[in-house]
Structure 1
């Protein structure tokens, strides 16, 4: 946080001088006076200090404080932002010292809401939310798929302990599988006729004018199956050979060898290599034949030289930027990457990237490995935005007046006016406020314009949504809010639209919902944490070697059974039972 960061820097200086360190600054506890209610708010992240000094300078926060009353009171926010990289520790330290804020963001919390409730730290909002948040409750009634996520189970009883933000639809994914379309067009041939593909830019001055007649083995113009991927890999090999790329590869999986979110794995029969909800039954995907088929696939790719030989060494890379420098050097055929890599964005006019065109593709469906249960099943578990957003808890530092005032503010953010305000200041609001940050960004026409297209009102942003200042110009760090994602024009070019449509083609329906996770009681949550501490490390130690062909032999039945037996030595079945109990509770 800006205040804590400044104090922390001062403390470091004090340590050098005095050889000791005192505790960091705590959240304030002034509830306000007169017609103003003060709210202290802890968040794990803020905005870059080059944009504005502290989150109190956010244009939406300032506009709300200056123009609205809730419960006949004005609001004044004080924000405390965790030091980057120490979010969970900072959360724990504040709880341990009792110096926590009025509102605590739970997205990187080290404790669950039921744990905080049992420790008498947070408010029980079960009766207060329906009484003070009609817009919030109306949204939940209209979106029953979201309703369960607001509840926690305490002693078998549903309680509202956390306020959760939502969006009015599925926000387009910012990352997914990407591939070198230009390599396929240039070095591949039609799998049915053997003819070379035609391709190129119809207008050399228009980067969006790329056209080709690429056809995949499935008969369409996009890769849908594992067999399509393997066809691409053979073409990528040819491309790298002809371009003299000796240190490239076709694909690099995450260093675990798998993604707990299910990406890629989910095409091998559905689910994830983690615990997931299979129509009311909790399944640990690691113990399934789907995981074995997935490993056999990756082992085959490794043996054929298609995988990055060093994939398990990229331990500091996030899953959507594995070995990113090599991707931008033009030495990788397919990767899981951000929207900033699609289209012509990696073209640096050098030997390996000149003319590069990147397309997004769907989660692939396995049609080669395993048996019928692992083949030709649509993916149903992957990293994907849902309607559910982050949640906050209200601590007992707050008086009931503060709680009710904050609830009415939160309910306003679920009204049509509040939802638009979360999206930024309109032209009229900017002209009234003359916000300095908007002026500096040149947003004199406001953050957005409402236009009519095909009989629908479309919100069109007046700045690039990928700009680093975008989140700073809207209300991105405060919950609960209703974020507008339906009928929004983000200014994507044709490549970005193609990529996000591919990445969001399948829907994540099998993951354990927030409601299920909230239904896990405190004792069981502690058990899960203990089990996973050892279980996850066991998998990280063993799975990469299985892919590389050492350790457990995934092609040998006896060795596979030994692996499953060792999995259960780490009490994975206990976690399955806990989540099953939670699923059953939420279905009552």
Structure 2
């Protein structure tokens, strides 16, 4: 996978303007008699507007304020411009996977379905099963902007096609990556009190941790979650990722590599010294915020801007630290924010079902997010309602910045934050960043690090159904075993002298077969040629 660097916002805008093709409001559509007309709507002669159903999860925080994306003003404006009505169908928040699976037990599928990558075997298996349409041949005529995007970006083409170069889904596409959003969060007042500089190396961190312990503060709370014990910003110092990754074309499994033992040795040492909270396996994310805000923990790894804004409201000045190195100047190859252009968020993978009542209309509507006009609408919202011009610059108005929802929620209520569309860099159009110069600066503080890339990151390819099923069987056993052992190694319940035995057990569970399957998928992915090459 080619390695990309984050590009400054101004260059990103220039690049994007060059890539986009204007759609305007003139869409070629096929009428019922088979003739093609250029019009603003997919509209029958009797004036009835085409209506499509779209199954897509409703973002959790937005669900507190709206019941449906039919209330989303960007989607409302798109429907008006295109003359295509969408009836959104939303699963209950927290039950998305369960309700997604139930869709396929009914008599008729919605016209458009998001979350398609959660189909058993992935969206391409859904296409092979005849559940999701193969849209490859219809893209040039009915989704020309999406087709142009696919065929002009080699990496996106590989990500968005199966092993035969077929397309079934519209994916969120981001041609320019965002700067990293997750870093060490530090209280500036505490740093000054401890007479500490912002830490850059493991030695810097440990010196700071010692001073925190001396003040009765637990230094570090690892990130909570369903698989605690893995911290990529620390694992990355040994050039490994959790689970599968690629190293110079060779697939590896992180939890069995020698570097992973080094990572566990560091974490075990920190645990024994009291640097790590003893509660890290059971705590909730909101509790971590409270512990930091009240000075009970010294630092944690989290979203920069969300923590900046929260702490600013509490009167706590915070700063972020750069990625940790073993030695100054170390090159890092794990950057998890340098993964694009395909956006893998749940709402960003949309397919047209076999039961779609008007495939051409569905293609037309989904294509709109890749036109210049549609991308502007979805990324910024409606002019006058959400933003205004200040000279030649767009600026958000009070509807986005001063509302009852909050700027994060407003992104889902007034814009299309995640979805099948051409997505602009968040530093250009995310209200949470743009409402505060301090928040934006905190995000950009370490963004132009020349010694960080994502060379280890495995691209998002899919295996066939049989291979995926076998891989899943192996992963279930291997991940369960690894996750249990990682916590035991960190806490000392299992001595690290047993690491080699642990690796042999992973092998006995079939990891080498899983690596071979991943290698086959990766090699197939890399061998794809873009249409026309």
Q: What is the CA–CA distance in structure 2 between the aligned matches of 1:573 and 1:540, rounded to whole Å?
A: 18
- The superposition leaves residues 467-507 of structure 1 with CA deviations (integer Å, 9 ceiling, x where unpaired) of 42232111235x42112227725233325422354378544
Given candidates 312, 321, 330, the residue that maps to 1:376 is 330
Q: In the TM superposition, what is the alpha-carbon distance from 1:562 to its structure 2 partner?
A: 0.5
Given candidates 75, 92, 101, the residue that maps to 1:83 is 92
Residue 441 (structure 2) pairs with residue 491 (structure 1): no
Q: Give the gaps of 5 or more residues in structure 2.
A: 1-41, 528-533
Q: Equivalent residue for 2:162?
A: 152
Whether the aligned pair in 1 keeps the contact of 2:272 and 2:491 (CA below 8 Å) is yes
Residue 507 (structure 2) pairs with residue 572 (structure 1): no
Rg (Cα) greater in structure: 1
Residue 273 (structure 2) pairs with residue 300 (structure 1): no
Q: Equivalent residue for 1:535?
A: 478
Q: What is the CA–CA distance in structure 2 between the aligned matches of 1:178 and 1:101, rounded to whole Å?
A: 43
Residue 244 (structure 2) pairs with residue 275 (structure 1): yes
Residue 229 (structure 2) pairs with residue 264 (structure 1): no
Given candidates 217, 223, 226, the residue that maps to 2:202 is 226
Q: In the TM superposition, what is the alpha-carbon distance from 1:232 to its structure 2 partner?
A: 1.8
- The superposition leaves residues 322-354 of structure 1 with CA deviations (integer Å, 9 ceiling, x where unpaired) of 7333123221111022335544743787xxxxx
Whether the aligned pair in 2 keeps the contact of 1:423 and 1:447 (CA below 8 Å) is no
Given candidates 129, 153, 172, the residue that maps to 2:139 is 129
Aligned residues: 465
Q: What is the CA–CA distance in structure 2 between the aligned matches of 1:109 and 1:504, rounded to whole Å?
A: 35
Q: Equivalent residue for 1:38?
A: 51
Given candidates 401, 410, 415, the residue that maps to 1:469 is 410
Q: What is the CA–CA distance in structure 1 between the aligned matches of 2:413 and 2:254, rounded to whole Å?
A: 39
Aligned alpha-carbon RMSD (Å): 2.9
Q: What is the CA–CA distance in structure 1 between the aligned matches of 2:67 and 2:310, rounded to whole Å?
A: 32
Q: What is the CA–CA distance in structure 2 between the aligned matches of 1:504 and 1:81, rounded to whole Å?
A: 39
Q: Equivalent residue for 2:531?
A: none
Mark the CA change 1:378 to 1:480 in structure 2 (over 3 Å): closer, same or farther.
same
Mark the CA change 1:253 to 1:297 in structure 2 (over 3 Å): closer, same or farther.
farther
SS at structure 2 position matched to 1:413:
helix
Segment drifting more, 292-301 vs 132-141: 132-141
Tell which has more relative contact order, 1 or 2 (C-alpha 8 A, sep 6+): 2
Q: Equivalent residue for 2:104?
A: 95
Whether the aligned pair in 1 keeps the contact of 2:187 and 2:318 (CA below 8 Å) is yes
TM-score, structure 1 normalization: 0.72
Mark the CA change 1:451 to 1:525 in structure 2 (over 3 Å): closer, same or farther.
farther
Whether the aligned pair in 1 keeps the contact of 2:160 and 2:342 (CA below 8 Å) is no
Whether the aligned pair in 1 keeps the contact of 2:233 and 2:324 (CA below 8 Å) is no
Whether the aligned pair in 2 keeps the contact of 1:171 and 1:385 (CA below 8 Å) is no
Q: Equivalent residue for 2:459?
A: 513
Q: What is the CA–CA distance in structure 1 between the aligned matches of 2:370 and 2:107, rounded to whole Å?
A: 31
Residue 349 (structure 2) pairs with residue 391 (structure 1): yes
Q: What is the CA–CA distance in structure 1 between the aligned matches of 2:102 and 2:296, rounded to whole Å?
A: 44
Q: What is the CA–CA distance in structure 1 between the aligned matches of 2:271 and 2:448, rounded to whole Å?
A: 28
Residue 13 (structure 2) pairs with residue 67 (structure 1): no
Map 1:331-350; keep pairs closer than 5 Å: 331-339=296-304, 342-343=307-308, 345-346=310-311
Q: In the TM superposition, what is the alpha-carbon distance from 1:108 to its structure 2 partner?
A: 6.5
Q: Equivalent residue for 1:408?
A: 364
Q: In the TM superposition, what is the alpha-carbon distance from 1:396 to its structure 2 partner?
A: 0.7
